[in-house]
């Protein structure tokens, strides 16, 4: 059972509208920090103990740079936002020095082969990963009203970093999306007449702001789960979105079945979307906006894998 302190930390993050997965990750690393310090209360620890913990992650657990950064973010939140005792900006700890890997990118031919052979039940959401460059959770969390067929675009709300953006929608997916909306409506008609049905889950305080929205069709998930599930907060049933593991498994198994000799994941399709856009002459800032990157340097990594060479530089040897 969670300690009262950990429960209070989690409730504080909920109040600040942190994403559910962020709360889970932060709680995990705050608990790890407390256990590392022999369960000493965080108010009795500060810079020195944080430096030792972060160095331990690098030296003894050999975690990836992003993992160490996530642990730091969790502890910074704990001291700055919850305990109101911010850490020193100049922490001295051993940083994980391993360089991040370049993204795995499929060729257009490999992409077409993969998408053609994806099982039908999850074909459309996986096609959207590539067609619109979406993250896995952005796809499964799409609501019916997020699809704008008039302007061939998709609205992404509260993406990574809490940002909103509008991305492109391939015209070839218009008809499949219309069929998916019709399929989602069948589930909706089945659920809405049940007295146990609590409506769709709404994030943050939206359920209070829009009291009727949870029963309105446009707020329901575009890719609903095949079964209802109990919402423990209200002890009533809701229909959640399709589970992301279904998409992950389909991509992994299909890539092996069609003999693509690369480590292919759902995120590989997002990498491929960005790289293929750049190959077709798209401006890097346009690609940045489509992907929802805050920093252009994050987008620039895709220039490193283009066929023209590192950073799209053409070797003078080719002109000899």
Selected catalytic residue, list 56, 135, 166, 252:
135
Burial 186-221 (b: 16+ CB within 10 A, else e): ebbeebeeeeebbbbbbeeeebeeeeebbeebebbb
Q: Is 17 annotated in the active site?
A: no
CA diameter of the chain? 76
Selected catalytic residue, list 56, 95, 158, 160:
160
Q: Is 270 annotated in the active site?
A: yes
Q: Is 267 annotated in the active site?
A: yes
Q: Which two tokens stand for residue 215?
A: 């029963």
Distance CA 252, CA 263 (A): 8
Q: Is 304 annotated in the active site?
A: no
DSSP conformation class of 137: H
Q: Is 135 annotated in the active site?
A: yes
Q: Is 26 annotated in the active site?
A: no
Selected catalytic residue, list 143, 220, 270, 276:
270
Burial degree of 240 (CB within 10 A; 0-12, 13-18, 19+): middle
Q: If we measure between CA atoms, which residue out of 128, 129, 113 comes closest to residue 259?
A: 113
Catalytic residue annotation: 135, 160, 267, 270, 293, 302
């Amino acid at each position: 059972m969670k300690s009262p302190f950990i429960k209070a930390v989690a409730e504080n993050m909920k109040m600040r509208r942190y994403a559910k997965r962020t709360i889970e990750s932060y709680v995990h690393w705050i608990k790890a920090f407390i256990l590392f310090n022999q369960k000493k209360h965080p108010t009795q620890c500060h810079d020195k103990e944080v430096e030792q913990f972060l160095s331990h992650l690098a030296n003894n657990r050999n975690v990836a740079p992003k993992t160490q950064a996530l642990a730091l973010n969790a502890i910074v939140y704990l001291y700055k936002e919850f305990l109101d005792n911010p850490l020193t900006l100049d922490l001295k700890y051993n940083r994980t020095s391993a360089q991040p890997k370049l993204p795995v990118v499929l060729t257009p031919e490999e992409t077409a082969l993969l998408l053609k052979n994806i099982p039908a039940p999850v074909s459309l959401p996986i096609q959207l990963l590539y067609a619109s460059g979406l993250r896995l959770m952005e796809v499964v969390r799409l609501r019916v009203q997020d699809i704008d067929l008039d302007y061939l675009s998709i609205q992404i709300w509260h993406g990574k970093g809490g940002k909103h953006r509008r991305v492109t929608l391939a015209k070839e997916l218009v008809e499949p999306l219309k069929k998916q909306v019709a399929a989602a409506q069948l589930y909706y008609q089945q659920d809405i007449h049940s007295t146990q049905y609590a409506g769709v889950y709404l994030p943050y305080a939206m359920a209070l702001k829009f009291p009727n929205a949870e029963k309105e069709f446009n707020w329901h998930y575009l890719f609903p789960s095949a079964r209802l599930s109990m919402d423990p907060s209200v002890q009533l049933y809701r229909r959640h979105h399709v589970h992301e593991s279904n998409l992950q498994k389909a991509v992994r198994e299909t890539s092996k079945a069609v003999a693509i000799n690369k480590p292919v994941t759902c995120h590989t399709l997002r990498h491929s979307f960005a790289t293929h856009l750049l190959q077709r002459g798209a401006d890097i800032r346009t690609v940045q906006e489509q992907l929802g990157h805050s920093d252009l340097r994050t987008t620039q990594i895709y220039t490193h894998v283009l066929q023209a060479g590192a950073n799209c530089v053409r070797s003078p040897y080719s002109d000899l």
